[in-house]
Structure 1
Amino acid sequence: MSLVNAARAESTKLFSTSIWWILAIVLAVYVAFTSSALGFVLSASATGALGGRGPQPDAAGLPAMLYSTATAVGYVFPLLIGTLLVTAEFRHKTLTPTFLATPRRARVLWGKVAVGVVIGVIYAVIGIAASVGPAAGFLVGYGLDTGFGASDTWALIGRMVIAFVLWVLVGIGVGALVRNQVGAIVGVLVFTQFIEPIGRVAGTFVQGLSDVTRFLPGAAGDALVGSSIFSGATGATTSGTLEWWAGGLVLLGYAVVLLVLGSLVSWRRDIN
């Protein structure tokens, strides 16, 4: 079976199930709600409509911060679909007939990577629409610039698409390395929702720790995009983050390392 046929088979397996569109709906709702809430609070605060006496957010930087909500809080969804793309096959034993039809297991994994790129782009479009739409609406409503006339905004949106694709590939690597679906999903959620956020917050208070935490996957993803509500909330400075291209290379590095380890350690083992 050629790589094209392997990718076609993986595509059929993914899109014939409901998990991809269920996660897509949750992604859209979650990101849209977060973007709406932040868009209202930050836009109103920037214009003084809330009447607060605290520091007001920089109106010029609001579009990028709000639009990047799709990746800042929604990156876990492409990560999960990438993980499920592999672990679901181990759980339901569908890899057995796949490997019988395609004895070259590396080709099967490459087929999943190809499908991962496609689903990553699809999730990126959904996530970006869910974050940009509500945020832009609040910016317009409060008379603030939406940033659509600036090339930096469109560059940020383009990098968000790349980030979504890389997160799916990271998920495929996790799934290839950790066969147990429950263990892989729990591990992903614990790391992304607890361990890394706590580490990154601690990095803003502990001297020298940020030199390490900026290389974590989520921090690298935020650096690739170029903006994040997380960085704004923790007060992280530009000097404490990677350049966008370096963040992309770090995130790509995680994907490559996990895929290689998964292929060498787990992918070649017999299916129980």
Structure 2
Amino acid sequence: MSLINASRSEATKQFSTAMWWILAIVLFVYVAFTATALGFVFSAASTGSLPGNGPQIPADMLPSLLYSSATSVGYVFPVLIGTLMVTTEFRHKTLTPTFLATPRRSTVLIAKVLIGILLGVLYAVVGIVASVAPSAGFLAGFGLDTGFSSGDTWALIGRMVIAFVLWVLVGIGVGALVRNQVGAIVGVLVFTQFLEPIGRVAASFVEGLSDATKFLPGAAGDALVGASVLSMSAGTGASTGDPLEWWAGGLVLLGYAAVLIFLGYLFSWRRDVS
């Protein structure tokens, strides 16, 4: 079977099940809620509408900070869909007929990567709409600049699309390396929602630790996008290092995806399946 046919088959597998759109809905709701809450608080604080001392963020930084909430809080969803693209086949043993139809296993994995890129773009659109729409509404409502007239804003949105695609590829690598679906999902959630955030916050208070944590996947993704609520909150401590340049962050995240996919192919993908 050619790569085109394998990709067509992979697309049918992914889009004929409910998992992709269920995760997309959860992504939209989660990011929209976060963007709405942050949009109101930050916009109101910037205009002095909040009682007491609210978060003091320069008005010109608000658009990028709020719009990037799609990646800073929602990046776990493209990782999960990428992981499920692979582990679901191991769990339900659908890889057996797939490999019988396409003996070249590398072709199957490449087809997953190609469809993963498509899903990454799709999830990026969902996440960006969920973060930009409510954020821009609050910015405009409080008389603040939405940033749409700035090329930097559109460049940031473009980098968010790239980040979503890379996160899906990271998930595919995790799924190829860790066959057990429960183990892979739990590992993704523990690392992205607990271990890395804690480490990045700790780096704000430990001298020199930020020089290492900036190479973590989430930090690299934030550097690629160029803005992040987590980076802002982590930067309130006593010690902060210089973040990676956006292109360096993209290369680091691409490196994680490439290494995970290669290791998954080398140690797991070529093994026998029942």
Q: Secondary structure at the match of 1:139?
A: helix
Aligned partner letter, 2:17:
T
What residue number does 2:58 align with?
58
Matching residue within 239, 242, 254 for 1:240: 242
What residue number does 2:5 align with?
5
Using the size of structure 1 for normalisation, the TM-score is: 0.98
Shift of 1:239: 5.0
What residue number does 2:125 align with?
125
The runs of 5 or more residues in structure 2 that have no matched partner are none
User: Does the 8 Å CA contact 1:116/1:165 hold for their aligned counterparts?
Assistant: yes
Alignment of 1:115-194 (within 5 A): 115-194=115-194
Determine the C-alpha separation between the residues in 2 that align with 1:209 and 1:100.
49
Matching residue within 259, 267, 273 for 1:265: 267
What residue number does 2:258 align with?
256
User: Does the 8 Å CA contact 1:31/1:127 hold for their aligned counterparts?
Assistant: yes
Using the size of structure 2 for normalisation, the TM-score is: 0.97
Determine the C-alpha separation between the residues in 2 that align with 1:53 and 1:155.
32
Shift of 1:240: 2.2
Shift of 1:264: 0.3
User: Does the 8 Å CA contact 1:220/1:248 hold for their aligned counterparts?
Assistant: yes
What residue number does 1:212 align with?
212
What residue number does 1:78 align with?
78
Distance 1:238 1:68, change over 3 A: farther
Determine the C-alpha separation between the residues in 2 that align with 1:55 and 1:19.
38
Determine the C-alpha separation between the residues in 2 that align with 1:223 and 1:100.
42
Shift of 1:52: 2.1
Q: Secondary structure at the match of 1:98?
A: helix
Q: Secondary structure at the match of 1:166?
A: helix
Distance 1:234 1:194, change over 3 A: same
Aligned partner letter, 2:247:
W
Distance 1:87 1:33, change over 3 A: same
User: Does the 8 Å CA contact 1:45/1:52 hold for their aligned counterparts?
Assistant: no
Aligned partner letter, 1:250:
V
Determine the C-alpha separation between the residues in 1 that align with 2:55 and 2:82.
40
Per mean C-alpha deviation after superposition, the further-off stretch among 55-64 and 98-107 is 55-64
Shift of 1:54: 5.2
Aligned partner letter, 1:266:
S
Determine the C-alpha separation between the residues in 2 that align with 1:55 and 1:40.
12
Determine the C-alpha separation between the residues in 1 that align with 2:267 and 2:73.
31
Shift of 1:55: 5.4
Shift of 1:235: 1.8
Shift of 1:238: 8.4
Aligned partner letter, 2:271:
R
Determine the C-alpha separation between the residues in 2 that align with 1:228 and 1:52.
25
Taking only the aligned residue pairs, the percentage that are identical comes to: 74
Determine the C-alpha separation between the residues in 2 that align with 1:73 and 1:263.
29
Determine the C-alpha separation between the residues in 2 that align with 1:240 and 1:180.
37
**Root-mean-square deviation over aligned CA pairs:** 1.1
